[in-house]
Amino acid sequence: MSPQKRVKDSKAQKRTSQGSDSYQTNFVALEEENLNDSKCSLKHGQDNPMKDYGHVDDEAEDDLKRAMRYFEKGPVKTSQMKDKTLEKHFRTVENVAWKSGLAPEGIDILLNVALSGKFGNAVNTRILKCMIPATLVSEDSVVKAISWLCVGKCSGSTKVLFYRWLVAMFDFIDHKEQINLLYGFFFASLQDDALCPYVCHLLYLLTKKENVKPFRVRKLLSLQAKMGMQPHLQALLSLYKFFAPTLISVSLPARKKIYFKNSDNLWKTALLALRQRNQGPPPEPVKLMLGPANVRPLKRKWNSYSVIPVLNSSSYSKEYGKKGMALSDYLSSNGSFPLEQLKSFPQLLKNIHCLELPSQMGAVLNNSLLLHYINCVKDESVLLRLYHWLSQTLQEECIWYKVNNYEHGKEFASFLDTIIRAQCFLQEGFYSCETFLYKSLPLWDGLCCRSQFLQLVSWIPFSSFSEMKPLLFDHLAQLFFTSTIYFKCSVLQTLRELLQNWLLWLSTDIHMKPVMDSPLESTLSGSMNSVSELIHYVGWLSTTAVRLESNNTFLLHFILDFYEKVCDVYINYNLPLVILFPPGIFYPTLLSLDSSILNQLCYIMHRYRKNLTAAKKNEFIQKTKLQFRFSTKTYQEFNHYLMVMVGCLWTSRPFQKGLYIDHEVLEKAGVVEYKSSLNLVHHPALLSYAVSFLLQECPEERVSMSSIRGKKWNWYLDYLFSEGLQGLQLFIKSSIHRSSVPRPESINHIEH
Amino acid sequence: MSVLRPLDKQPGLNTATILLVGTEDALLQQLADSMLKEDCASELRVHLARSLPLPSSANRPRIDLIVFVVNLHSKYSLRNVEESLHHVDATFFLGKAAFLATGAGRESHCSVHRNTIVKLAHTYRSPLFFCDLEIEDFRATMAQRLVRVLQICAGHVPGVSALNLPSLLRSSETPAPEDL
């Protein structure tokens, strides 16, 4: 493989490929001719056919070449000239590095120079700081560089900087197998106090399951005992524990944390700018779905770069040069299947054993096939790499952390959209998004990227509610209460989706044994506790919101939508949980002026009855398994609500229990005859139906409400049902025994 | 010097008065402008003060809500608010006071840690809002939210009083975000 090929073929480089190409040729020629740099390169330039239109470029490249040469040769002894030339060459290299990045060969040379200790400390630092790759860093250069570390020619600070560089560039290293072989060496460097945090970070990125050995665990624990609970050591330990839970018995903080500070900012800004330039037009958002249709890009909405890297597997760019290779050749020669060629699900199935994930994990977000892959692959380090990348990127891109470029809002939103698409596709939330929310929700104004943010909330993985409440839900409540009604509605909708996701997760997970020793309560009752706390929390939000917005119909709809989910938990998800709505929701909906609200309430009551009776039945059948017996309080509450509803709507005897209003007061208010004023005929939500029913019956007569009784009552009911009040129909059918003699009927209580 | 009390004056008809206290004059002025732009049924009055106590002679309406604005980029701003707090009657903290921290986004510029202000707000049992007032969009949403709170404090939202607010807007003493 020649280096030119790689540079040329790498998609990202297309725009600059011409320039790099000529640089390569020059560079090779130079090595043959040795020394006398300025002269020979000039000569070469004359030979170069591209000179006519690429003169300026060529000159810059020559300069770079000369600079490389200079650095490679080492410092000149005569110190007077030295500073000047050094400075000049430095400027050349830095210019190129920050403008377009350095080719892998350039990085190779500079790494060598910086770590071999030819120059002084200051120079080494400066070299390391400008080592920005154009596309990739070759693994060989890294290995070579590490071998320099063993010689002990470079100072501690250079070493630290090198490790920081390595961590920052980790995603851009083309292979990691060789580096992983040096695991032991890195591990030994943990001893060095100054290096420890950075080496920890590197190991965190590098560790695979087979690297976790008992002796390493012992060493880490003794280090921790010596240095105290350092976040970086904790990170590594928790990773080890993740891979080999049996080896580590110490308890670590359960929550996922951000262990590593963004200390590599030195290069991050340059890399972002670089990626922006190199990437060309952003990868079009791909609709995630099964089958080959997923490669058809959607129409792009705006011109912008994306923070999500493009797929770029090293093996592909290497082999691409040999045209006309058959698929089998790929498999036999290389052992790994190039990701760029992965287009269909059958292809994925065929090659699932030999896929090599991209060096930049973020790329998988845009590729549904790879998402399938990471979903089923056993190697947890893959997910950890993805999470790590996600946390970093979310943190860096989040707009209210970079006040100055507020214009990035759109890009950030589209990035979040991509993440959400991936989460929906996998039907699970990423932990990095959860931590990101914890950190940034308190700073959120509730407006920018609202739909994305709320969707992220709805994908929070299931865990203990009481632990999450102070981190997230208290802040959400504050936003909820102080924001507009539309925000309140969208929050309620989000929480409904969250509940649904949790319930789905629990209902599929409950039948399996606990696989991981997850931090949350793994028992069923613990999980149910968490869900019921969420429901009570929403009940609290809703009750207050109804007061704040003075019984707004729109809001009530969203609240009842939530309870439509809640009332069916037992039957739909097969989970032992029935929680009724609080009175603060029940009464405003019962007395609402809107017939659809009343209808929805009736439907929910009907579903509650179904669920409660089903639970009762099961209790009788499986007498042995009584751990999830619903308390009689739930039944009592339900029966109370039922009595009130039937009393109001049907029997015209409202509020028999628990509510007493002095007769005098009623007299003063002019509503002595209040008893029938909430029945199906006079209820404010249904009055208009009654009137139009009467007009339809006998258009000529004077309308008299009280005439709806006896047979007419039944016709009226049929009229209501035909008008689309299905909930009411279900409710009356299940809760009221309609005898052939009009009234009084009996209410169907649930015995408790 | 006089201590500010919430109920020492009669309320004005349909007026709601907010007092913004903080050293960032320009930001306070901008926030006040944004608030006055809000469409709201009550008549809004916004008073600005660098620090408390207020001059005792002035003829001012009843104050329904005090918002202490702290710029996290300046220690002086925090100290100023801490000193001003001494001149406020305890009953104000039954829902008629709030803290607003600006500048939390740019962590590198912060000279006051986020947790310091979280603790302060917690000590005074008052809600704490975060908002980068320098950015117009954020400021506008914050203004909108403050107006809603103010209307409750002034008693213009039926069924809810300022006494409800501490329990509704309570921000629990969260752990430092670094620990996350």
- Give SS3 for A51: helix
Using only C-alpha atoms, chain B has a radius of gyration, in whole angstroms, of 15
Asked if residue A463 lies in contact with residue A530, where contact means CB atoms within 8 angstroms, the answer is yes
Higher pLDDT, A241 or B88: B88
Contacts of A258 in chain B (CB under 8 A): 178, 180
| Residue in chain B nearest A484 by alpha carbon | B145
Residue ranges in chain B modelled with pLDDT below 70? 1-2, 57-58, 171-180
Q: Could you tell me the CA-to-CA distances from A55 to A50, A68, A536, A739 in Å, in that order?
A: 8, 20, 72, 100
Residue B173 lies in a domain: no
Binary contact (B105, A448; C-beta < 8 A) = no
DSSP A269-320: HHHHHHHHHHH-SPPPPBP--SSGGGGSBPPP-S----SSPPP--HHHHHHT
Chain B touched by A470 (CB under 8 Å): yes
pLDDT digits (tens, 9 = 90+) for A152-170: 777 888 888 888 888 888 8
Residue B47 lies in a domain: yes
Higher pLDDT, A568 or A197: A568
Interval A250-270 mean pLDDT = 62
pLDDT value, residue A382: 75
pLDDT digits (tens, 9 = 90+) for A526-556: 788 899 999 999 999 999 999 999 889 999 9
- Give SS3 for B71: strand
Contacts of B169 in chain A (CB under 8 A): 477-478, 481-482
> Quick check: bond before A744 cis, omega within 30?
yes
Residue B9 lies in a domain: no
Chain A touched by B135 (CB under 8 Å): yes
> Quick check: bond before B53 cis, omega within 30?
yes
pLDDT value, residue A296: 35
Rounded to a whole number, what is the distance in Å from the CA of A686 to chain B's nearest CA? Answer: 26
- Measured between alpha carbons, how far is A581 from A584 in angstroms, rounded to an integer? 8
This prediction's pTM: 0.71
Interval A170-182 mean pLDDT = 81
Question: How far is the first Cα of chain B from the last one, in angstroms, to the nearest whole number?
Answer: 44
Tokens of B85: 């707090």
Mean of per-residue pLDDT scores for chain A: 75
- Measured between alpha carbons, how far is A683 from A676 in angstroms, rounded to an integer? 9
ipTM: 0.93
Rounded to a whole number, what is the distance in Å from the CA of B28 to chain A's nearest CA? Answer: 18
Q: Which residues are paired to A737 by β-bridges? A: A746
> Dihedral sign, CA of A207, A210, A216, A217?
positive
pLDDT class of A13 with cuts at 50, 70, 90: very low
Binary contact (A482, B164; C-beta < 8 A) = no
Residue B103 lies in a domain: yes
pLDDT value, residue A55: 55
Interval A273-286 mean pLDDT = 52
pLDDT value, residue A752: 60
List B residues 82-121 in contact with A (Cβ-Cβ < 8 A).
104-107
Interval A248-274 mean pLDDT = 64
List B residues 138-157 in contact with A (Cβ-Cβ < 8 A).
138, 141-142, 144-146, 148-149, 152, 157
pLDDT digits (tens, 9 = 90+) for A662-711: 778 888 887 777 778 888 888 989 999 998 998 888 777 777 777 887 88
Helices (H), A441-576: 450-458, 465-468, 474-482, 485-509, 524-548, 553-566, 569-573
- Measured between alpha carbons, how far is B126 from B81 in angstroms, rounded to an integer? 14
Domain residues for B91?
15-54+61-167
pLDDT value, residue B78: 94
Position A624 pLDDT exceeds 80: no
pLDDT value, residue A273: 67
Contact partners, residue A457, CB within 8 Å, separation at least 6: A437, A472, A476, A494, A495, A498
- Give SS3 for B113: coil
CB atoms within 10 A of CB A78: 7
Contacts of A470 in chain B (CB under 8 A): 172-175
pLDDT class of A460 with cuts at 50, 70, 90: very high
Mean of per-residue pLDDT scores for chain B: 87
Chain B touched by A53 (CB under 8 Å): no
Position A104 pLDDT exceeds 50: yes
- Measured between alpha carbons, how far is A399 from A394 in angstroms, rounded to an integer? 9
DSSP A494-529: HHHHHHHHHHHHHHHHTTSPP-S--SS--SHHHHHH
CA B52 to chain centre: 13
Least confident of A311-320, A405-414, A508-517, A705-714: A311-320
> Dihedral sign, CA of A722, A726, A728, A733?
positive
**CATH number of the domain within which B40 lies:** 3.40.50.300
A703-722 in b/e burial notation, b at 16+ Cβ within 10 A? eeeeebeeebbeebbebbee
pLDDT digits (tens, 9 = 90+) for A346-373: 777 777 777 666 666 777 777 777 788 8
Residue B7 lies in a domain: no
| Residue in chain A nearest B156 by alpha carbon | A548
pLDDT value, residue A679: 85
Least confident of A291-300, A369-378, A485-494, A594-603: A291-300
For chain B, how many structural domains are there in total? 1
Say what percent of chain A tops pLDDT 90.
Answer: 17
Residue B179 lies in a domain: no
Binary contact (A401, B141; C-beta < 8 A) = no
Residue B31 lies in a domain: yes
